[in-house]
Amino acid sequence: MATYTGLSHRDVEFCTLGMFILDDIEFGDTRPSVKDILGGAASYAVIGARLVAGMEHSRSVSWIVDVGSDFPSNVLGVINSWDTACMMREDDERLTTRAWNGYGANEKREFKYLTPKLRLEPSMLSEAQVFSKTFHLICSASRCVSIVQDILRRRDELQREGKAPDHSMKKPIFVWEPVPDLCTPEEQEKFFLANKVVDVVSPNELELGMMFGHPGWSEDSDFGRDIVRRILDSGIGPNGQGHLVIRAGKDGSYSYSKAQRIWLPAYHQPGITESSAVVDPTGAGNSFLGALTQGMVSAGRTPAKVIGSVLAGSTGWQEAMKVASPHNSILVALVFATVAASFVVEQIGVPRLTTSTDGRESWNGTEFTERVRLYTQRLYRTVEESPPKHFRVN
């Protein structure tokens, strides 16, 4: 049985096809393991999108949660507190999808399912979800191509039936997160093909290296620079104007397009934020991409205005925005993504949402927009000190 918080077509800005999972986590050090943690790519991607959307646009964030017979009631309470557009599909004849996460050196993660998974297909999306302005995908390369084709096909069919909203003529934005265990040299050809149907492809630095037969990726190596050239030359997006976004954990993120290269540092930095702030990296990459995806359709809202206001006097930022035009939403979205990930690493599981008596919402005791302001102010200083370190025209 499915319960769904109804939407009109115009409401949906973000939809993830990631799965909801309950996590067991082992850290491989003195910290004890934990169980029944709200997780999975869907939950963390939604957190990222929800942070960017804010309370005012919370119901533009859409996803599906499969509820098994063992679903913890406290987890349901947390999900409901986010006030997102969530389709809850209840099935007492199966267990909720569960997984084990184990961490080793350099935050290298091992992952395995503990119960049978129930992956999401485009056919499961509601009509409102099908017309989302953006989609977050985490899957294999071949499945990425299939999902994009199926979503576009369903949109075309609904348009012919007269069921399409006004914005439906505009192609949605697809952000693809390659599934880690298929980042192998054998998948390279499929990887290049999948890149052509999405707008953003985003492996982390370990996954990108493994895709090309190396233990990791670094921009400082000939190998690392050659990989980026190969990917851009092959093409990202239907018109070749897409972005390769490499998530590099504590070293921040790198974004490459045919127009420019962008580097943004992580939010938590030694000597700037508390050294103890980073507790658990689980889900940070998913939240980074959820925020990035939502951020690409959030122009003109308060968080974006904060960035524009703080960086209005930055020559380096303004030049980067000109180079990125008409795709400069990626710059603002990368800031949102960096800030969103900072909330997720501060505890085991998802950040804590609270609402003050005057209706202001905070995550881990801090407003998202305020943290965007703090990060952007730091970015202003480092960009002015060395613009080429952050931005380079290709």
d(CA 178, CA 38): 22
Residues of the chain above pLDDT 90, percent: 81
Of 236, 208, 256, which Cα lies nearest the Cα of 394?
256
User: What is the band of 105 on the pLDDT scale with cuts at 50, 70, 90?
Assistant: low
Mean pLDDT over 171-192 rounds to 96
pLDDT, greater one: 10 or 20: 20
For CA atoms 230, 233, 239, 242, give the dihedral sign.
positive
pLDDT tens digits, one per residue of 315-324: 999 999 999 8
Q: Where are the beta strands (DSSP E) in the chain?
A: 2-4, 14-16, 21-26, 34-39, 61-67, 85-90, 98-103, 109-113, 134-139, 173-178, 200-201, 243-247, 253-256, 260-264, 353-355, 361-363, 391-393
- Residues 6 or more apart whose Cβ sits within 8 Å of residue 70: 95, 96
pLDDT tens digits, one per residue of 259-317: 999 999 999 998 777 656 888 888 999 999 999 999 999 999 999 999 999 999 999 99
Q: Is the pLDDT of residue 249 over 60?
A: yes
Lowest mean pLDDT across 221-230, 249-258, 265-274: 265-274
- Give residue 5's pLDDT: 47
User: What is the band of 9 on the pLDDT scale with cuts at 50, 70, 90?
Assistant: very low
- How many structural domains is the chain composed of? 1
d(CA 47, CA 358): 22
Read off the CATH number of the domain in which 181 is found.
3.40.1190.20
8 A C-beta contact, residue 177 and residue 247: no
- Domain region containing 270: 2-393
Mean pLDDT over 39-65 rounds to 96
8 A C-beta contact, residue 76 and residue 38: no
Region for 36 from its dihedrals, namely left if φ exceeds 0, alpha if ψ lies in -120 to 50, beta otherwise = left
